Amino acid sequence: MRYAILSDIHGNLEALRAVLEDIENQQVDKIVCLGDVVGYGPAPNECIQLIREKADVCLMGNHDYAAIGKEPIEFFNKYARQAIVWTRRRLTPDALAYLKERPFEYIEDDITFVHSSPYRPEEWIYIISARDALPHFNYLQTRICFVGHSHVAIGVAKDDRHFWTWVADGETLRADARYIINVGSVGQPRDSDPRACYGVYDAESGRFTFRRLEYDIEATQRRMAEFHLPPYLIDRLKVGR
């Protein structure tokens, strides 16, 4: 089984299209979206429609949860709050209904898929570093866990004696180790690389690969400006922060 795992699209249609086009060449068996299809970006309905058509599994993210009115927006920074309010007004009834049906967790083939963390996925805990990840191994019921939420691509591995991390393109996962892998963000990376990011995992070979893709950032920025979304959110796309 080959999986394409993507997360944190955030209404960025140009980035999502680039990722889906690349996935077509990866010969994957299943596409899993870890959530946050909406928020920040200018094309929430279009992104929901594409994910609905292409993804086999789509989970609930915190911005999705806020967009459907389940998460108090007071917990978000002022720019995110503005974007959530704007997104709520834009969502079509069909898009809203789709988001409301998203689960918090999906488990298959000794793999856990969640938006934020294996410990209480609905509490939106960030995993950005090995220090963040290590406590969550105590709650992980499978060998591998794929997460998003932080927009920072990183793999954290742990065996009986050691732990280690990697942020390079690929890693062959060891059978005697456990893994928490953050697949980064499609629509708003925050690890100083503005390219869209997602991951491909081959369960047979054990190979996981981060994939980074150029996309038309300026087109997304222009559309955000047309809708008067916060300039801070527009500018950050160029620098990946």
Distance CA 56, CA 33 (A): 8
pLDDT per residue as tens, the chain (241 positions) = 999 999 999 999 999 999 999 999 999 999 999 999 999 999 999 999 999 999 999 999 999 999 999 999 988 999 999 999 999 999 999 999 999 999 999 999 999 999 999 999 999 999 998 899 999 999 999 999 999 999 999 999 999 989 988 876 788 999 999 999 999 999 999 999 999 999 999 999 999 999 999 999 999 999 999 999 999 999 999 999 8
From 194, 205, 137, select the one nearest 170 (Cα to Cα): 205
Q: CA angle at residue 205 from 21 to 36, to 5 degrees? A: 40
Q: CA angle at residue 107 from 5 to 186, to 5 degrees? A: 20
In this structure, are residues 187 and 7 in contact, taking their beta carbons and an 8 Å threshold?
A: no
Strand order in the sheet with 170-172: 57-58, 30-33, 2-6, 196-202, 207-213, 170-172
Is domain 2-239 given the CATH code 3.40.50.1000 in the classification? no
What integer pLDDT is reported at residue 171 of this predicted model? 86
Count other Cβ atoms within 10 Å, centred on residue 57.
17
Distance CA 229, CA 157 (A): 38
What integer pLDDT is reported at residue 184 of this predicted model? 96
